[in-house]
Structure 1
């Protein structure tokens, strides 16, 4: 932080972050970004400013009904799809925003495993097609922060620091998709009831797939197109759209916050990996452990 830029940073939510990539259809292996179809992020919140969060009721049919979950006692998983196949470059401060959305919110790891699995299907024009399973790419810790500075509007950050792959491995696949060892992004939630002009670079989801926020969350937008991820409960609703904007690749320098991981950055023992324990039987972990394409 520069002189006179003292910041007030409050941690809203803490948890684990997992990254996966999906190779293109009919590609059994990826050899570079050109072979990647999708980038997935899974957030698993574990504690927060308010440990009891509201989530979308799975039986509500997307009508904004809610239920409560204690993230310190119950598993909560958010399955996120990025609109591009990489993250914004964290070293390119205030670069172009990247759009993404919450595809699934669940309390069951089996639901995420199903989303990561490959599938076989038939098309009228191309015949039988094979969609390969997703590959595990990285694991780390994340925080969602409320950031206030004198003379500036309050905003929120999604910050993370990797634990896997080990720092002394290649990290080739990760760096190709802009997943650095640590990163900080401004995160803004898109108002599902505001429809941008047709010239907008983010057309977003169609109306049937957009989030149906409960009134107390929807009311925070007013007539604005975007709102900070405050509270993080916004991310607990399927169809929640957001923007990530590069802020920094040095969290301590930018925010005065040191993220301490539970795993040594040179750790090669996968017994400490929650990703391997939870999803290792579904997603290949070679890229995750060796930092190479698979």
Structure 2
């Protein structure tokens, strides 16, 4: 096994800040039948959601009631309506969401030995971590002043590798996921229901509809200011399948050393979560309901069978309003990157080796982009760093 150039992960402090959707009380393993709603509920018949002309954003549905009630900006409303009007194409029909295309940029090349890639890695790519301060707070001084945290996943092809000398490129296949709990789950007791807010997004869409700040007028409080999204980390990720469970595992590239903000939010140098997708054919928990569910094709709905939760597959995350459960793994990344017996028999690389190579290549290419972390992240997202906050490491 190759040795990672990064140091071991710092021990993180758990954080149970209030806000967002409460985790289910059941301690059953994700991938089995989670008891999120009432026990004994009969298995519903698979039905496709009907398209509606408008769709509420996550901020409208599960955000801080004091800030979002009657206060959504016109810009956010226009974006939500435009997205709903266009509709979300089925994952099987959107090639950009699956081919991991490199788009513009010289950082992606064919893998030297694609046959050696472990089958347990079902998706890999670049991951970005952001948070947004509460309305009127551009620079949060503590976690309580954070509205919510976000994860951006930018997949690349499984048979590709990263090289230095360029940005990741925009393939129009990025996903924006919202973490209503503000912080990341740290242990098996932390079970956060999170949401896919945007799919198949270009970097231009992320700039226009997520990264920027905006001022808007409300009937009750006058002009309000929604701050820009603040970067707090970047790295590489993999969605792995270990049989009964799926895992979202990441190796952080930036910042090189964890700061106070990263520790408080729950970031680690190497971290992982068990990740499971909620079956929309069952009622959602009352405190995690959305006005409209994901528009899964019948193929995906049938795969849930009678399970309330199923191990997450990348195609689940290609649908707006997918609800997924993040369960903390305090034991580290070993379980998420456990090699499969079949892969070992075939002489394939271990998952940890593949992710370590990806991390080392990402660290090298990010150094080439700029002299400071924030500029590197925004350059990778094809944005001007001067228009956005610096990467925050201290409160």
* CA apart distance, 1:235: 0.1
When you count strand as a share of all residues, which structure comes out higher?
1
Match of 2:206 among 98, 112, 120: 112
Match of 1:242 in 2: 324
In the aligned structure 1, how far is the partner of 2:265 from the partner of 2:309?
Answer: 26
Please list every run of 5 or more consecutive structure 2 residues that lacks an aligned counterpart in the other structure.
1-117, 160-168, 339-351
Match of 2:236 among 136, 141, 144: 141
Match of 1:165 in 2: 255
In the aligned structure 2, how far is the partner of 1:269 from the partner of 1:249?
Answer: 34
Is residue 23–residue 29 contact of structure 1 (8 Å, CA) maintained in 2? yes
1:194-273 matches, cutoff 5 A: 194-196=282-284, 200=285, 203-208=287-292, 210-230=293-313, 232-248=314-330, 250-252=332-334, 255-256=337-338, 257-258=352-353, 259-260=355-356, 261=359, 262-264=361-363, 270-271=369-370, 273=376
1:49-88 matches, cutoff 5 A: 74-88=171-185
* CA apart distance, 1:264: 4.2
Match of 1:100 in 2: 194
Bigger radius of gyration among the two? 2
When you count helix as a share of all residues, which structure comes out higher?
2
| TM-score under structure 1 length normalisation | 0.76
Could you list the per-position Cα deviations for residues 102-151 of structure 1 after superposition, in whole angstroms to 9, with x for gaps in the alignment?
A: 00112411111121211111112211111111101100000000003xxx
Is residue 20–residue 41 contact of structure 1 (8 Å, CA) maintained in 2? yes
Match of 1:285 in 2: 390
Please list every run of 5 or more consecutive structure 1 residues that lacks an aligned counterpart in the other structure.
1-7, 50-71, 149-153
Match of 1:177 among 265, 286, 298: 265
What is the number of equivalent residue pairs in this alignment? Answer: 246
Match of 1:155 in 2: 245
* CA apart distance, 1:241: 0.5
Q: Are 2:386 and 1:276 equivalent residues in the alignment?
A: no
Could you list the per-position Cα deviations for residues 163-197 of structure 1 after superposition, in whole angstroms to 9, with x for gaps in the alignment?
A: 00112xx511111100111111110001112104x
Give structure 1 regions of 4+ aligned residues with deviation exceeding 4 angstroms: 267-270
Summarize the Cα distance change of 1:166–1:98 in structure 2 as closer, same or farther, 3 Å threshold: same
In the aligned structure 2, how far is the partner of 1:14 from the partner of 1:161?
Answer: 11
Is residue 183–residue 249 contact of structure 1 (8 Å, CA) maintained in 2? no
Could you list the per-position Cα deviations for residues 214-251 of structure 1 after superposition, in whole angstroms to 9, with x for gaps in the alignment?
A: 11111111122111113x11100001110000124532
| TM-score under structure 2 length normalisation | 0.57
| Secondary structure of residue in 1 paired with 2:288 | coil
